[in-house]
């Protein structure tokens, strides 16, 4: 009887705060609320079609993530990034992803093969998108590769750090996506990482992941400066 009552209990609804956090985070990432935008909590809630209370709680979380600044009695400002901020974010990303690749390469073979299969599929999608000249799809597949790399490493702290800094850097990458040279080297560099994982080579995986992100950083930062973008 008790089991029947437990089965009858409806599944708990997703947190409204969680919903607001995800919706607002995505809106910031995709420049619906661009850098420097300032508005009241009520205005933001109306634009998201949500009530003010969960939006307020979501904004507190987003401030901890470095995506917004909550100004007492003056509303909320979407945080902007200077070129030096982007450099610092990439420095963190380089360290996190290199360590993630090293950890995966040290795992038992079945785990390494699972991770390599997911990463290989994302790389295949990147190549197909580039062949179709669909840079938006290429960027989505590239982002999936890097997200899967960190997700597979088994270190929750690395995952949290990676998620935070990626949110901050995403706007810069998307803003310059069509201004950068055609990304023909990325897939080959991804496959080098995958090969090191399959070989169970932690040092090689670390080096390949680090080299890949260093090259991306060293291409993006000068471009941002050349374009005269002081805030992103």
Q: Average of pLDDT values for 174-179? A: 78
Asked if residue 85 has pLDDT above 90, the reply is no
Asked if residue 6 has pLDDT above 60, the reply is no
| Tens of pLDDT, residues 29-79 | 877 888 888 999 999 999 988 888 999 999 999 998 888 899 888 889 988
What residues does each domain of the chain span? 16-78, 83-226
Architecture per CATH, domain 83-226, reads as Up-down Bundle (1.20)
Under the phi-then-psi rule, with left for phi > 0, alpha for psi from -120 to 50, and beta for the rest, what region is 87?
alpha
DSSP 14: P
**CA torsion 114→118→119→124, rounded to 10°?**
130
Of the chain, the percentage scoring pLDDT greater than 70 comes to 92
**For the chain, what is the radius of gyration of the CA atoms?**
20
CB 41 within 8 A of CB 59: yes
Nearest of 119, 102, 112, 97 to residue 202 by alpha carbon: 102
Q: Average of pLDDT values for 118-145? A: 96
Assign 11 a pLDDT band (cuts: 50, 70, 90): very low
Instruction: State the pLDDT at residue 230.
Output: 65
Residue 29: both structure tokens together: 């990432």
Instruction: State the pLDDT at residue 169.
Output: 76
| Tens of pLDDT, residues 206-218 | 999 999 999 999 9
Tell me the β-bridge partners of 70. 76
Question: Strand 75-78 to strand 68-71: parallel, antiparallel, or no bridges (unpaired)?
Answer: antiparallel
Asked if residue 102 has pLDDT above 60, the reply is yes
In this structure, which CATH number among 3.65.10.10, 1.10.10.10, 3.40.47.10, 3.30.70.240 belongs to the domain 16-78? 1.10.10.10
Q: What is the pTM of this model?
A: 0.76
């Amino acid at each position: 009887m008790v089991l029947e009552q437990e089965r009858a209990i409806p599944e708990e609804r997703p947190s409204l705060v969680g919903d607001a956090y995800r919706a607002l985070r995505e809106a910031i990432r995709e420049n619906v609320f661009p850098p420097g935008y300032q508005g009241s909590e009520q205005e933001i809630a109306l634009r998201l079609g949500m009530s003010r209370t969960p939006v307020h709680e979501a904004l507190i979380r987003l401030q901890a993530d470095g995506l917004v600044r909550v100004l007492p009695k003056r509303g909320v400002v979407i945080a902007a990034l200077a070129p030096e901020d982007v450099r610092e974010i990439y420095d963190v990303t380089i360290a996190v992803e290199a360590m993630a690749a090293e950890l995966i390469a040290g795992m038992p073979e079945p785990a390494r093969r699972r991770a390599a299969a997911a990463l290989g599929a994302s790389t295949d999608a990147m190549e197909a998108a580039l062949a179709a000249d669909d840079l938006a799809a290429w960027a989505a597949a590239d982002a999936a590769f890097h997200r899967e790399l960190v997700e597979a490493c088994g270190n929750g702290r690395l995952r949290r750090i990676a998620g935070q800094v990626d949110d901050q850097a995403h706007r810069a990458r998307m803003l310059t996506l069509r201004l950068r040279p055609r990304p023909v080297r990325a897939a080959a560099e991804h496959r080098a990482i995958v090969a090191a994982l399959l070989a169970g080579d932690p040092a090689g995986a670390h080096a390949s992941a680090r080299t890949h992100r260093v090259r991306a950083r060293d291409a993006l930062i000068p471009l941002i400066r050349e374009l005269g973008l002081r805030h992103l």
